[in-house]
Amino acid sequence: MNRIVRLVSIVTLVAFIAVSGRMWRVAADTPALWTHKPTQDIQWYTVTGLGTLLVGTKAALYQLDPETGREVWRRDDLSGIEAEEVREVTGTPLVLVADNSGRFQQKTKLFALDVVTGKTAWETDRLPGATVAFAPNYEKDMALFLTAASNAMTKDKLDVTALRLTSGEFLWHAEYQEKVELYAGERNGKQTGKYDLSGAQPPLFDEDSVYFTYAGLHRFSLADGKPLWKVVYDVTEGKIKRGNAQAVVDGDVIYTSAKGQLRAIDRASGAVRWTSKDFGGAIAEMQVKGDVIYGRLGGTFYDFGRREFAQRKPHGVVAVDKKSGSQIWFYDGAKNSLTNMAFVPGQNLILLADEKTLIGLDTQSTGKAKEVFRQKLEFKYKLGAMGTAAKVAKFGFGGLSAIGSKGADTTDEPVTITLEENGTAVVRGAQHLLAFDPKSRQIVWSSQYAAPGMSGWKVFVLTALTVAAATLSQANESNAYSRGDYWQARRANDQFISLMSSYEREVTRRYTATKQSGAYTYVLTDIKDDKDKGVGIIGVNMLTGQGERQIMFKDKDPDYRVDDGAGRVFNLRNPKELSAFAIR
């Protein structure tokens, strides 16, 4: 893994996030390293890939040094920018800022900022409407922007604009002829909010085309944006997000899923080669292995109509012949929840977990799937208010914006399963972590932690988990193309080469400070010491499953970010006070 991608992987956001970091020790009642008191109320903040803090107010967009809290750069011309309008381009020095001012804005002005200096690398006003999705293509030095007439609408036709990623040069514009479903954000209220394409899968690229899975499957030329063909069909899964899997290009065929069905579509002509039967539920994950397509049925989804996470049934896996679409085997034995699928190399084995069980399926089954094993999810370590961890540090935290408004829900739902570098499979849920060795078929370690006593915590945690689950089986294009030498080889413009050089220096400095880190995951929970009990976070050692550090917040609804590589916790106590604390 190249150093930029390694760096990006350690940037942490809120709640339940896997990070890299040494075993920091925290002294109780640790004072703030620094406190930033802005002249205007802070509307939002985030931690960038360089570890700096990007802050938005009604008056300006600016960046803070994480070590000192001093202002690094400030843009007064970018006032009132919302968090959803800012996108860091992974592995590059660029932060894209889309000025979509006004509820019915008819045009977007886009700025590409150098994250190191805050200066404008390029800007354009060629985007019609409000931005609802962005997709970089590193190999082609291209960025696609999808816009709608208004981001207050739930359904609209789209414009597609292609720009040169390194310079902002206009490349082409295309129109999407069908109206597509737009999705409300997790933070939206019942009556207000903005809509985008966050509930759909991102565009898919091959060497000469881009494929969109909105209102069917549509192929456009990357050279000039010309529509090549389209196959129109219904893709909506009610009001849930990410209910359909990402399309897969395999040779001369593209495989898609929609409303419980799989399709094989000829890559050259757009002709449908076959359509599977309806398997009765959302196929949210699809993987092609040899001559077989495996589809995961059901799971945990955000229902933006009800403003909460919900389960979709059936919970199981289907295997079909990729040449004919005929069913090879079908499994619906999972109960009440389902993670993504994890394929164990060399063992003809799929791992997945439901609410109470870790399940191993034989990929060589026919007819009805064969369960190789069922392992009850049992927990050795009790964390949080149920048990003990490291010495508690108490910080004066606060803020309401990060948590949401739903009431507490203590149902435990495994959401993701990942294969770690040491060969173990780690199951992560709303209230537990478990490591399993597929070779010995033994639980290596397992931890369970108490549900935090705050409103909306579950929406908060599951949002992070479901985003992670949605990307587990998808290739990260930035892995292959974000290295500085790639941009040099493309003979990009001199300005961008200069930006990349400065960015590389900052990346190297940050990576050097964290390359010897161990693996930790932070969980949001209720914790206690001898005198107090309250909401906090516990750092769980991913090798042992034990909590080795914990921090209690003195307020019910903390709005925090963890940068474990640097040993810091940032917190927005209120719109007028942003602080940093050491967790060494």
Torsion of CA 59, 63, 66, 70, to 10 degrees: -70
Contact yes or no for 242/199 (Cβ under 8 A): yes
**Which residues touch 297 (CB under 8 Å, ≥6 apart)?**
260, 279, 280, 281, 282, 283, 284, 314, 315, 316, 317, 318, 332, 338
Query: Taking 50 as the threshold, does the pLDDT of residue 18 lie above it?
Result: no
Predicted local distance difference test score (pLDDT) of residue 22: 32
Contacts 24+ apart (CB under 8 A), 104-109: 104/150, 104/152, 105/129, 105/130, 105/150, 105/151, 106/149, 108/145, 108/147
3-state secondary structure of 480: helix
Over residues 328-368, the pLDDT tens digits come to 999 999 999 999 999 999 999 999 999 899 999 999 999 98
Q: pLDDT digits over 508-527, tens only?
A: 777 666 544 457 788 888 88
Helix (H, G, I), strand (E, B) or coil at 350: strand
Residue type, 281: G
Residue whose pair of structure tokens reads 């069913």 in the numeric block: 327
pLDDT of residue 422: 87
| Cα–Cα distance measured from residue 178 to residue 502, given in angstroms and rounded to the nearest whole number | 43
Residue 415, Cβ neighbours under 10 Å: how many? 24
Q: What distances in angstroms separate CA 572 from CA 455, 533, 569, one per listed residue?
A: 18, 21, 10
Tokens coding 317: 């896996």
What are 196's two structure tokens?
């985008």
525-550: average pLDDT: 82
**pLDDT at 400 exceeding the cut of 50:** no
In which element (H, E) is residue 502 found? helix 494-514
- 514 membership: H or E segment, kind and range: helix 494-514
Which two tokens mark 238?
Answer: 């009610």
pLDDT at 456: 74
Given pLDDT bands bounded at 50, 70 and 90, which one contains residue 481? very low
pLDDT over 90 at 262, yes or no: yes
Q: Is the pLDDT of residue 6 over 50?
A: no
